[in-house]
């Protein structure tokens, strides 16, 4: 059997249905073999988008997303997407073509050391030098990507390896990876210490991260929070870990959450952190170092990495460990603590629009996302790009029930939303649902080539562009750091793209809105359409608050 055909046989065995790829010279044998495969190929328009499609697909389906690119520039174009998946612990497998084995190291045409270039941000990687290794490598790659703490795995395959003919195909029954044994169950002694710490605590809080979403532990987290009567705050990646309409929900913590959430966190005497990696954007290590702390994570290296004094580390899967805690009697906190939290939250909600200048024109993004949240179904997936649009959507669109909020949380990769939301559409194509991609005019232009894919496949994607003619979040930081207007530097987008006309060229139904009322009408129309739509909302450039 031809090695390239064997590759597809192995991918089919792993349940792969779709590959987001872009062909090239070093992938010719693989693309030729793909003709006879059941796996469907989605031709992306730039390799940079391919890992984001796989990322959105993986986050929607819970399966491993697969992307593919040729050697050299194709492979290097994948790098940002691989790094994005690494920082957000998203299971993807990236397959790259490589030059012939005898050309490796010669600076041959389209040769790049993608194995070396991606080393710092892959969970694992392979350079397949022997075609007999293909079955083992593929099996290991999917296993490693999807188990333990998920992440991206790279498989680099030289062209002449793809072309070898194998007389004997090795059969892999069982994997043997001696250095990879993820821990799922919490240590019994540690669980007891957790229970004791909860009991001792007067003002406990829960901080939930992306690990809760990845392990599907929402229900367990709700039960634990209710048993403890503790407020729950999340990181950006933790949005969806806890229903945002729940009375115990206290907001997103970190640099882009509400100050009131920070206030609640500071008042707590104990933090039970689960599936969160204590990033500088989502956490204050100084605040956490002052508290009693329980840290539950499947990756032992995350415990003690950023916060020095973790009192009780528990290594294990969020769903399993929370389940183990719930098997015991859990101490309820004094009701006075939650009353205090509710007072702070109520005060916040009463005054949360006080910082707005009434003279601002255009669409008010807060009103828009609050209305959208009240309007769309309870299983909507909203994919936010990076920038002001991301924070508006996170703070004003409520994630509850089966809704999902996806974003590039760790790397903050602009150009994420369009391909990732398309990946969500591909992943849900058998049971179509409402999928919304939110961009700014900056991030939209980073990925707008992918409109061709959306049009080609008539994806039911609802694109929203918050157009303020600026790189809004950088501009906001310039405003807050340097004050006066003349300190804005390089953040004007001086050519205003006619987004509606552009989308219409691709056959989208497209709408332009310059007022709240028009935005609601446009979106109402868009949501009725079976195919792709775009709604452009004109936003005042001085609307820089979240």
Partner 1 sequence: METKHCLSLIVENKFGVLTRISALFARRGYNIDSLTVGMTEDEEISRITMVVTADDQTLEQIKKQLNKLINVIKVTELKKEESIARELVFIKVKADGRTRSNIVEISNLFRAHVIDVSKDSLILQITGGPQKIKAFMNMIEPYGIIEFVRSGITGLQRGHH
User: Which positions lie near partner 1, rule CB under 8 A?
Assistant: 115-116, 119-120, 123-125, 127, 129, 144, 177-180, 299-301, 304-305, 308
Q: Give min distance, CB of 409 to partner 1, in A.
A: 20
DSSP 492: B
Residue 124 or 223: the one with the smaller Cβ distance to partner 1 is: 124
SS (H, E, C) 462-486: EEEEEECCECHHHHHHHHHHHCCHH
The residues with which 272 forms a beta bridge, in sequence order, are 206, 294
Site of tokens 């210490």: 193
Q: Give min distance, CB of 301 to partner 1, in A.
A: 4
Residue 136 or 462: the one with the smaller Cβ distance to partner 1 is: 136
Q: How far is CA 206 from CA 102, 264, 397, in A?
A: 55, 11, 22
Q: Give min distance, CB of 181 to partner 1, in A.
A: 10
- ∠ CA 442-445-446 to the nearest 5 degrees? 90
Q: Give min distance, CB of 285 to partner 1, in A.
A: 12
Strands (DSSP E) contained in 99-203 are: 124-127, 153-158
Euclidean distance between CA atoms 319 and 543, whole angstroms: 40
Alpha-helix residue ranges (DSSP H) falling in 247-387: 259-267, 285-289, 318-326, 335-351, 365-375
Residue 57 or 115: the one with the smaller Cβ distance to partner 1 is: 115
Euclidean distance between CA atoms 23 and 316, whole angstroms: 40
Residue 45 or 305: the one with the smaller Cβ distance to partner 1 is: 305
Q: Give min distance, CB of 330 to partner 1, in A.
A: 29
Residue 178 or 530: the one with the smaller Cβ distance to partner 1 is: 178
Q: Give min distance, CB of 140 to partner 1, in A.
A: 8
Q: State the CB neighbour count (10 A cutoff) for residue 351.
A: 10
Q: How far is CA 150 from CA 62, 88, 91, 384, 465, in A?
A: 11, 9, 5, 21, 31
Q: Give min distance, CB of 178 to partner 1, in A.
A: 5
Share of the chain residues as helix, strand and coil, in percent rounded to the nearest 5: 45, 15, 40
Residue 246 or 305: the one with the smaller Cβ distance to partner 1 is: 305
Residue 130 or 504: the one with the smaller Cβ distance to partner 1 is: 130
Residue 278 or 383: the one with the smaller Cβ distance to partner 1 is: 278
Backbone angles phi, psi at 151, to 5 degrees: 180, 175
**Helix/strand/coil for 437:** strand
- ∠ CA 371-372-376 to the nearest 5 degrees? 125
Q: Give min distance, CB of 221 to partner 1, in A.
A: 25
């Amino acid at each position: 059997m031809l090695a390239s055909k064997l590759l597809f046989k192995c991918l089919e065995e792993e349940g792969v249905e779709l590959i987001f790829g872009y062909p090239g010279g070093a992938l010719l044998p693989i693309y030729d073999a793909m003709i006879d495969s059941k796996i469907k190929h989605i031709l992306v328009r730039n390799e940079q988008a391919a890992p984001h499609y796989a990322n959105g697909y993986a986050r929607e389906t819970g399966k491993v997303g697969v992307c593919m690119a040729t050697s050299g520039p194709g492979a290097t174009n994948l790098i940002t997407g691989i790094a994005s998946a690494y920082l957000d612990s998203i299971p993807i497998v990236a397959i790259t073509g490589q030059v012939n084995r005898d050309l490796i190291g010669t600076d041959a045409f389209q040769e790049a050391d993608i194995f070396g270039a991606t080393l710092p941000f892959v969970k694992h990687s392979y350079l397949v030098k022997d075609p007999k290794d293909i079955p083992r490598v593929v099996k290991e790659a999917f296993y490693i990507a999807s188990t333990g703490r998920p992440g991206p795995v790279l498989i680099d395959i030289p062209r002449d390896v793809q072309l070898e003919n194998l007389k004997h195909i090795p059969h892999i029954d069982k994997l043997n990876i001696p250095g990879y044994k993820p821990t799922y169950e919490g240590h019994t002694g540690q669980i007891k210490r957790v229970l004791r710490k909860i009991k001792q605590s007067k003002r406990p809080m829960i901080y939930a991260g992306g690990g809760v979403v990845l392990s599907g532990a929402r229900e367990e987290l709700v039960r634990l929070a209710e048993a403890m009567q503790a407020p729950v705050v999340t990181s950006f990646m933790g949005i969806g870990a806890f229903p945002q309409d729940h009375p115990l929900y206290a907001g997103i913590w970190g640099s882009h959450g509400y100050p009131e959430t920070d206030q609640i966190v500071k008042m707590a005497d104990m933090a039970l952190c689960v599936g969160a990696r204590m990033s500088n954007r989502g956490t204050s290590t100084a605040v956490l170092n002052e508290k009693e702390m329980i840290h539950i994570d499947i990756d032992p290296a995350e415990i003690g990495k950023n916060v020095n004094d973790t009192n009780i580390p528990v290594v294990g899967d969020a769903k399993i460990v929370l389940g183990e805690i719930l098997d015991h009697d859990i101490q309820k906190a004094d009701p006075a603590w939650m009353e205090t939290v509710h007072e702070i939250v109520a005060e916040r909600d009463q005054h949360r629009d006080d910082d707005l200048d009434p003279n601002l024109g255009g669409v008010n993004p807060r009103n828009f996302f609050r209305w959208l949240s009240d309007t769309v179904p309870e299983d909507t997936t909203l994919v936010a790009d990076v920038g002001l649009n991301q924070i508006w959507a996170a703070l004003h669109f409520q994630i509850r029930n089966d809704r999902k909020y996806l974003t590039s949380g760790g790397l903050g990769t602009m150009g994420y939303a369009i391909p990732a939301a398309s990946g969500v559409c591909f992943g849900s194509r058998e049971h179509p649902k409402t999928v919304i991609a939110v961009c700014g005019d900056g991030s939209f232009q980073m990925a707008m080539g992918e409109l061709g894919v959306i049009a080609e496949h008539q994806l039911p994607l609802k694109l929203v562009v918050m157009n303020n003619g600026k790189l809004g979040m950088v501009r906001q930081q310039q405003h807050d750091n340097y004050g006066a207007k003349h300190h804005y530097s390089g953040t004007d987008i001086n050519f205003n793209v006619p987004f509606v006309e552009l989308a219409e060229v691709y056959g989208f139904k497209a709408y332009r809105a310059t007022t709240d009322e028009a935005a609601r009408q446009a979106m109402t129309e868009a949501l009725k359409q079976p195919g792709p739509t775009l709604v452009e909302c004109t936003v005042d450039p001085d609307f820089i608050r979240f």
